[in-house]
Chains A and B, each alone.
Chain A
């Protein structure tokens, strides 16, 4: 299906704003991007023979798999001032590119985007991770919210603390 430039631009703009809120620790703003019916998850990956990888496999180990209450719990921890991994606040930068709207109508959309996340924190080497997200957006009144975010990480061995991606 063809997606208009305006629709692609709308979701690009939303993703960029979301990243800006997160990278600047504006957690109230950031949380507002996520729907109450949220699933926020990152499946684990293996190197298997071609064609064998199945990220939708039942009961697959996930690096994270949270609903909205779990997501909020993690944010509460991150913002408590008590979390050594996040104090002093790390510098992060999320570069969001390759925005591909798979489908969109007036109330739902599915959008893929690539990310690179850079992180600098005392005691750690500066590190970047890359991958893509597959977001399912839902329209709530005037706003679009992320109802499902699947984060697919390309690194086989994680080498940094990833916090809440």
Chain B
């Protein structure tokens, strides 16, 4: 198959072949997932020494493990002997994990500590050379653990760039940070991961239409009026492929007593760590994406975290979790848990609409003739501008500044030669 021509940066068009080309998908493994900072785990999943969780960075299976020294590390979940995954469960606690295949054993610090028939190995065999392969770069940013496979790549802060201003609104919302609640959902859907990622990076154009059923129930407020409400409370940001949609300060229907007071207190407290403008955003409706595949949705009391895990050109796993403020009262924690259950997953009244659209896009675009015609991202101002202290390319909503920002960043990375 002919390699699709990557559209020129800034022309606000995308070639539909980017969703279907197996060659591009393989290239993404190295150029996107092998190069970007990816979310691995939240510290609250690993409270005790020896605790581990398994996840993935693109194709790479990953184990995030708190050592006996209390240090959190991440390794490729693959035995150094023949490559078998040493861990086959979602999480657990162990000081040592033994590979099921030939029982090479690895400590929580990644050292090779046991080799059966050791006496039959040559003298030159040094177990120190055969420890688990560490994820070369790790950053615990206020409890959110990110990793990068780019050994010589930029720091996590440089990777966020000016978008750190917005990421801090979520990461530093409270002094105590978050708990990631136990349990998750994996929804394997027949879409390319980028259809989901581009949407959450900045498409709220679709909300009153694709989500018309919940709009009719009053869940979305008056979204068609967004553009008239100005940049103060409703705006979008695109920056280095990261994206943010700010959705005002919606009050959930049937909010429990104390909700507004709680959020007010969060806002006030956030001023101790953040600027007044940032602090004001801590309780806004927020859809925040960290390129390439991580999404936070804080909306109507629910605090949801997900990532898009690419499986193949036409298959993606959405991994869903729930966040709650550490130390929040039980009712506030329960409110987030229930709202995430109601809205953001395969049974959710919001995400099920989105999946229906993405699957329909995949089917609509699959034909080779259709793929000759580009997709349009013209919505919004052609020239974006910066507002007051708020960094990044800002536009009022609806806009596709964040969506196309995702594609610009994707194109940049795909054009760079792969690392040696």
Q: Which residues of A contact B (CB under 8 A)?
A: 42-49, 52, 57, 59-66, 69-70, 73-74, 76-77, 80, 82-85, 123-125, 156-165
Q: Mark B169-205, 1 if CB is under 8 A from A, else 0.
A: 0000000000001111111111000000000000000
Contact across chains for A163 and B347 when beta carbons are under 8 A apart: yes
> Would you give the shortest CB distance from B60 to chain A, in whole angstroms?
19
Verify if B267 is at the interface (C-beta below 8 Å from A): no
Contact across chains for B183 and A52 when beta carbons are under 8 A apart: no
In the bound assembly, the distance between CA atoms of A71 and B88 in angstroms comes to 36
Name B's interface SS: mixed
| 27 interchain pairs, CB-CB under 8 A | A44-B183, A44-B184, A46-B184, A47-B88, A47-B89, A47-B90, A60-B182, A61-B320, A62-B341, A63-B185, A63-B341, A63-B346, A63-B347, A65-B338, A66-B338, A80-B213, A82-B216, A83-B353, A84-B213, A84-B357, A123-B356, A123-B359, A125-B190, A157-B186, A161-B346, A161-B355, A162-B347
Name the contact of A85 in the complex, choosing from B181, B187, B322, B356 (C-beta under 8 A). B356
Interface set, chain B 245-286, CB cutoff 8 A to A: 254
Residue of A nearest to B340 (CB): A61
Interface set, chain B 221-242, CB cutoff 8 A to A: none
B residues less than 8 Å from A156 (CB atoms): 186
Q: Which residues of B contact A (CB under 8 A)?
A: 88-92, 181-190, 210, 212-214, 216-217, 254, 317, 320-322, 324, 333-334, 337-338, 340-342, 345-347, 349, 352-353, 355-357, 359-360, 363
Contact across chains for A61 and B90 when beta carbons are under 8 A apart: no
Contact across chains for B359 and A158 when beta carbons are under 8 A apart: no
> Would you give the shortest CB distance from A129 to chain B, in whole angstroms?
10
Residue of B nearest to A86 (CB): B213
B residues less than 8 Å from A59 (CB atoms): 181-182, 324, 333-334, 337
In the complex, how many residue pairs between chain A and chain B have their CB atoms under 8 Å apart? 118
Contact across chains for B346 and A158 when beta carbons are under 8 A apart: yes
A158 in contact with B188 given A48-B90, A82-B212, A85-B352 (CB within 8 Å): yes
> Would you give the shortest CB distance from A95 to chain B, in whole angstroms?
20
Contact across chains for B333 and A158 when beta carbons are under 8 A apart: no
Residue of A nearest to B88 (CB): A47
In the bound assembly, the distance between CA atoms of A65 and B90 in angstroms comes to 22
In the bound assembly, the distance between CA atoms of A49 and B91 in angstroms comes to 9
A80 in contact with B216 given A63-B345, A159-B189 (CB within 8 Å): yes
B residues less than 8 Å from A43 (CB atoms): 183
Contact across chains for A65 and B217 when beta carbons are under 8 A apart: no
B residues less than 8 Å from A77 (CB atoms): 213-214, 217, 349
Residue of A nearest to B181 (CB): A59
